[in-house]
Chains A and B, each alone.
Chain A
């Protein structure tokens, strides 16, 4: 550890060593937002071990449907095989490694390598190649199937995969967040579906900016997104918008909620979904506690560690003519370099909602949160300049650390919320950066653990993020 400021740039390992202590103070080193060495370590220690989002099952409804997806920077084929099973296959031929999936989406019973023609069923099984017997005699094809992700699981159609044999089952990895997936995405009999293809675009920013922002950076809406309040895209006044909850769900999964105080309160319920949509939400599909929270929910935003964020909220793309609609966008912050992120943004609707409302929900979400979204387009400005600042020699030599202290210790205005109706640990109001501290603590744990990082409960997570006075809320 550098006890005194030495006049040099620290190595990645030195940054990580010091970060454990600085996180206790609510400080995060600038260097983690733009460092080639740390980026390489992240690919190995975070993305190849975590459960990463692959796609939604509705994107590949029929046997043979496939999409090309990425875990970190590694390409995988997200495919439904002939028996209907969803698979996540590594897109590299077992012969020489050339890609076998040469489109972003399509339908195929087989994937053929263009180099020598090795051909695989959509289960990944190698079935042949030109002049097989002449070339290979009795070589056992079973030994040379396409490689698969180590484990693949699906919840409410959201498919995740891990590349690590030591990863716990997805439910365990998700911790208390699992309960909230039912609240947000388990209400209707026939579930959710993705509309169209995901948008993809790039920013010269670090992937953690997006994860951090959606983990519960409500504070930035007061200023960065002021234009949205001015023109009426978002209709809850800025200060009132801060009166919500931050929820630590454990294992680095973080959320921010705004809810009605009770069922009779005027204002949006069920995230502002139209009554025709709300008709689809059935109490039988979830627990009474989950249904009650769904009923009162106005805004749910969060990040599933490491890089999947979501936003379920009433929005409008045309405030003068169209009232806000319930919307759901799911976005993944894919690392493309130390200061390069590729954003993937999906728009999700309830499968059984009327087409007219699907279109309104899609347009409201896409018009606000997307590459062109009038809400989201402002975020690129600070996020890109943070990578610029963080990559400077000066910031590294001076050990510039960013302030994540909001809600800590004696200055805290946000308090543990005893009235929160769900699992995890909640704070009220949203003047609290503990959700981000917990995200970085989990990241730090992944970056420094030789064995698979152990689970962190919401209580431990909230306590470790600088709050000593918390206890869990039961649900």
Chain B
């Protein structure tokens, strides 16, 4: 059940900028955020590669010397294509109370850093994520902040999400459930 250390993703370089890679990644992330915020979940699922590895590690407060506190064996989400498909299928039933009425979400995806990887068909992307989540008529809301480490794969002329690791900035998750995708 051990995952790679979340901090092992590529290290951003200030020296080089591959503008095509950057814009491809940026456009993809913005498109994905739009589908999720607009609750077009079935269309979002078309952006998911069949070999998807989607994880949200638990984070705990550790002393500085022990590192950032991301668990290597405890998860808030640990998904593959089948389990994500089950989540999407559930949201399509008439009894998905957790998201009906749906949350109003706004995903702010910033600080995008992208690099080609492997034979060129893979793009590694790091980005910052802030999700606003509001429900019902109350003005109160939840904020979820974190960093995404994504790998995008181009195949059949489409770009899909192959890997996602969401590194949360919270030890105790400050929302009542993760019925939304991060």
Contacts and interface: CB of A to CB of B under 8 A. Distances in A.
Contacts, number: 138
B12 interface: no
A347 B75 CA distance: 10
B121 interface: no
A105 B174 CA distance: 20
A367 B171 CA distance: 19
A196 interface: yes
Contact of A367 (B58, B61, B83, B175): B83
A318 B82 contact: yes
A381 interface: yes
Size band of the B side of the interface?
35 or more
Interface string A425-456: 00000000000000000000000000000000
Nearest to B178: A372
Contacts of A386: none
A103 B56 CA distance: 21
Interface stretch (B22-30, B37-45, B88-96, B152-160): B88-96
Interface stretch (B13-21, B66-74, B106-114, B126-134): B66-74
A104 B85 contact: no
A382 B98 CA distance: 9
Interface in A223-266: 223-228, 230-231, 233
Contact of B171 (A104, A231, A378, A381): A104
B8 interface: no
Contact of A195 (B1, B69, B95): B1
Given A196-B74, A203-B176, A318-B85, 11 more contacts: A195-B74, A199-B58, A199-B173, A201-B175, A227-B95, A231-B86, A347-B74, A363-B83, A367-B83, A367-B86, A371-B177
A202 interface: yes
Nearest to A201: B173
B68 to A, nearest CB: 12
A318 B75 contact: no
A402 to B, nearest CB: 19
A467 interface: no
A392 interface: no
Given A226-B93, A362-B1, A372-B56, A380 B86 contact: no
Interface residues of A, number: 52
Interface string A348-363: 0000000100110011
Contact of B76 (A105, A321, A370, A381): A370
B177 A372 contact: yes
A358 B66 CA distance: 26
A228 B91 CA distance: 11
Interface of B: 1, 56, 58, 60-63, 66, 69, 71, 73-80, 82-83, 85-87, 89-90, 93-98, 171-179
A80 interface: no
A224 B56 CA distance: 26
A377 B73 contact: no
B174 A196 contact: no
A321 B50 CA distance: 13
Contact of A226 (B61, B76, B95): B95
B98 A366 contact: no
Interface in A181-227: 195-205, 223-227
Closest A-B pairs by Cβ, 10 of them: A196-B74, A318-B82, A372-B178, A377-B177, A201-B173, A377-B98, A380-B176, A226-B95, A227-B95, A227-B93
A196 B176 contact: no
B172 A230 contact: no
A106 B85 CA distance: 37
Kindly name the residue among B63, B66, B83, B173 whose own CB sees the greatest number of chain A CB atoms within 10 A: B83
Contacts of A203: 176-177
A274 B64 CA distance: 41
24 contacts: A102-B61, A103-B62, A106-B63, A196-B75, A197-B58, A198-B74, A199-B76, A201-B172, A227-B94, A317-B79, A318-B82, A318-B83, A320-B82, A320-B85, A322-B82, A366-B75, A366-B77, A371-B173, A372-B76, A372-B178, A377-B179, A378-B95, A381-B97, A381-B98
